[in-house]
Structure 1
Amino acid sequence: MAEKGGLLFLLLAVDNNSTVDYLSENWNFTVQDKRQPKRTAIRSLGMDPVSSTSFDGVPGKSASMAVFAFPGFTISDAKKFKIQVFEKNGDRNPGLEISGRELLKAEPILISNQK
């Protein structure tokens, strides 16, 4: 994660250990409660990136990267930022959960022309 100009950039690597190509259909980004009290609904807020790189999938036995830019945000310790990618015509749907503390550790992007 990195931060620049009020945007939070997420660099995500997707590793395919299978010989079968992984073709992605869409990405899902949500902020959810970490714990669900008994007999209540989980509150979930969908988030859309303002920009992203193209990501069509991962060939077998390789890895690919995707970058997503979000307006800067923070979440409380009682919530988590959940990322999930869905496979086209398949059931492999890997996901990642990021805590509010991890979001606060985003490093600034420094641009310099010095070597």
Structure 2
Amino acid sequence: MDPFLAAVEQLRHPELRGKPVVVGGDGDPTKRGVVSTASYEAREFGVHSELPPRTAAKRCPDCVSCQWRRTSTTRSPRGSWPCSRKRGVRLRCSAGTRLSSAC
């Protein structure tokens, strides 16, 4: 479930498919912040969540850094969460997180 936000960015921007994508902070790897998620392509370089963006950029210089847009994952309750439920995937929302009505 961790690379979900990176997959959302790859869906929103088809030109990012197949490229290493890092989501977190304000999208600027030179500033302080935390990587929220990394695509499978970025994980091959050792990039993972809870990593400082500066470290992620050192491990994977070609990665694309994106700012997390809450509206892209919460706008439609009929988006990807109900599809996951139909496939038998159990989802648990952390306290304070309102991803959709599926939670």
TM-score scaled by length of structure 1: 0.28
Say which one has the larger Rg: 1
Larger RCO: 1 or 2 (CA < 8 Å, sep 6+): 1
Instruction: Decide which structure has greater helix share.
Output: 2
Structure richer in strand, relative to its length: 1
When normalised by structure 2's length, the TM-score is: 0.30
